Every structure is written in structure tokens, then in C-alpha cells.
Structure 1
């Protein structure tokens, strides 16, 4: 229906990918879905594109010919806080995942598990979801369970909740971690849609973070939620 197609016609995507066949395939799929796509094959081209104005969505690889994608993620997050950022990469090691989320990525998908409907994934990202490969979620959980723990010791005990989150804020944070949109979180918890952003701002302030990915990572570290 026209009502559903309209949002994609107004969404600008900066697609950064150095592998030409992959770039062409993704760009073609996104353009066919009605998105405005700016393509870049390296950091320099991506920065030139950003100089022309912020995209609504940044889809970027990490291994680029002239540098690492994390530099672009960090710069984009600092300059354009409203831009949604998702990594599409072959790098699935824990360090790559955690560092990308820490510098500002909202979602992280491995290329070998990439969804066939890239347009739907972008819509989910813009709607407030955090697309993330299942194996990536397991990395985060495993890292937080084993960091600093001697071999053979049992997992950490009760949740720390050093940020003093309220039960309602923890419920909302769980919804964010599961990729629900603000409207879906409100519906599940019996809240009005307008109150959810206020709760999320409070969560960010207490956890001292700036993105959904950072909030989820910090909450898992404290044992407040489980993925």
C-alpha cells in the first residue's frame, strides 16, 4: 500500500562496502525498495558523502581499503546522533563486535547470515529495532559471563544494578535488547507510546551511554537482562 511505501522514499542510506559485487547487490535491492542510496567504497568516499549531509541510515562494512569502519561509525555518531548505524561484516570475532557497538553501532549482522530482505531490515532499524545476528548476541553474553572470572568458578550471582534502574526501566531495556520498537514496548507494558522515550532517556543517563547498543551491552554486563 502507498502508506507503507512512503517512509522508504524519504529515507537516505549511506552504504559503505569495498567489495563491488556486494555493493551493487545491496544498492540495487535498496533502490528497488524506494530508498535513496549513496554508495561509497572506502572511508574517503564515505566522509565526502557525509560532508554533503547526514544520512538517515549508515550501513557499513568494517574492513575498508583505507581504514577501519569503526572510525566512520564513531565520527558519524558524534556528528549525527540521529543517524541509525548498522554493521554488515564478515568479522564475527568478539573484539570486532564489542568495539563496533561501543563506538555507536545500533545493529550488527554477519554477511553469511544476512537477511534476504535488506529493505525490511532497514525499516526495522529505523523503527527502533536493533538487528543483530544470533551468534553476536551469544558473544556478548559469553564475554560478560567470563570476563574477570577464574576458570571453574560459577557465573555471577544476583544482578548488580549499580545504575539503580527501576523495574519499569529494566522491562523497557529488555524490550530494546529484543529489538522491539517503542510502540511495541509500550503495548507490551501497557504504557502510552509517548512515555517510552522519556524512560529511555533516563536509562541512557543512568547507564552513561548514548545508543541502544551501548545500553544493552552495559545492561548485560551488570546482569540486568539476559539475551
Structure 2
């Protein structure tokens, strides 16, 4: 009687997009040392990665953001378009809010910072392939902060304008005369993030300028008195 042969698992195909030659070689060697993984492509820029993704299936994508000819976000979007089941992980030096959110919105499920020390890339890729989301603690905190800020401030009466906690803070700082750049520095976010909050505030107050926003906020009692004090 013939014994059943154990099922042979297909290797997990991995592609790397990383412009730093040393980093790319280190990651490539780590991946090739793991029997469950198979390195099928390693690129140093956006264009060849995009061409490769058009015709070659991939299970896991590991990409940097700052590439010589563009952003890794382009690679993420292309990968999602061609291979929607591919697990995508960003490994980069950038931890600003805009980059993190843009990558997640584009389709990344993992986000690891290079500066966090020695990265166990094999463990992170295996976790990603098994349905997890490998993410650096500082990035996790940023994501949770964004989620918390998205929760609206509860109103006591129906009909009141509902602002998120972060929108309330931005409104206070704008009311006391801070520039978008100043608000961004104070809150440790990008100017683009502040501009997005301001646009949301304007839309909720049905106004079109900073002056109108401050006037309408005062009329509705949305400003905190401390925010109207002169800056030190």
C-alpha cells in the first residue's frame, strides 16, 4: 500500500523595491535564507518595479518610499491593481502622518521603520503573509491617534456642529492667529494635514475663510477662551 505523500507547500514569492544597495542586499540574503520564501525580484527604483509587476505574480511586496524616480506609493498602488491578494509592507525612514496614511490608503498592511534598529525582515514577512500587520510601535501610535481624532466631539444639543478633538485644537490655534505652518509644528504633523483639518472645519461651519471660521465658531460657542489669549 502506497503511503500518501506530504503536500508540498508553494514558496511565497517576494519582491523588494529598495534603492539603498546595502539594505537591499541584506534583505535579499535574509529572504533567501528562509526556505518558505522565494525572492523573485529586487529593484532599486519605481519604473522597473512597475514594469515587472505587470506580468509577474507576487505574494509579498517589500518597498521603501523614497525612491530615485518616484514614491513607493506608486509601486503599492500598481501592485494592488495587478495582484490584489499580495501582502504589502513598507520599510522606510519616513514616519510623518501624511506618508503613513497615504501608504495605508494605497493598500499597505505593514509599516516598519528602518531606524527602529535591526529589523527581523523574515519574521515580519511571515507575519504579513499569515494575515498580520507588522508595524513599528511609533507608527501604531500615529494610526491610533488618527483614529481617535476622527471620533467626533459629542454635542449636548441637536443641531450643533460636531468637530473632532483635533479639529477643535486646530480651530483654537487658527483663532489665535497661528499660521498653518505654526500649527503643524506645534502638533507635530504636516502642513497638508493641518490644511485638511481646516477644510473640514470650513465645510462644517459653511464658511470660506479663516475670518469667517473664527466669527462663526465664536457665534456658536466652539472656541475655548484660552485659545484666544495672546501668544507668549
Q: Does 1:51 align with 2:69?
A: no
Task: Report the equivalent of 1:66.
Answer: 69
Task: Report the equivalent of 2:169.
Answer: 151
Alignment of 1:74-223 (within 5 A): 74-113=77-116, 116-146=119-149, 148-149=164-165, 150-151=168-169
Per-residue CA deviations over 1:107-146 (Å, capped at 9, x if unaligned) read 1001112554311211111100011111111111222334
Shift of 1:152: 10
- CA RMSD, 1 decimal: 2.2
Residue 151 of structure 1 aligns to a residue whose secondary structure is helix
Label 1:31 to 1:151 Cα distance change in 2 as closer, same or farther (>3 A): same
User: TM-score normalised to the size of structure 1?
Assistant: 0.60
Label 1:123 to 1:11 Cα distance change in 2 as closer, same or farther (>3 A): same
Distance in 1 separating the partners of 2:56 and 2:21 = 24
Higher relative contact order (CA 8 A, sep 6+): 1
Residue 146 of structure 2 aligns to a residue whose secondary structure is helix
5+ residue gaps, structure 2, are 1-5, 151-163, 172-232
Distance in 1 separating the partners of 2:117 and 2:52 = 25
Residue 28 of structure 1 aligns to a residue whose secondary structure is helix
Per-residue CA deviations over 1:79-116 (Å, capped at 9, x if unaligned) read 21110000001000111001100010011001112554
Contact 2:128 2:134 in 1 (8 A): yes
Label 1:143 to 1:39 Cα distance change in 2 as closer, same or farther (>3 A): same
Label 1:151 to 1:13 Cα distance change in 2 as closer, same or farther (>3 A): same
5+ residue gaps, structure 1, are 154-227
User: TM-score normalised to the size of structure 2?
Assistant: 0.59
Contact 1:115 1:121 in 2 (8 A): no
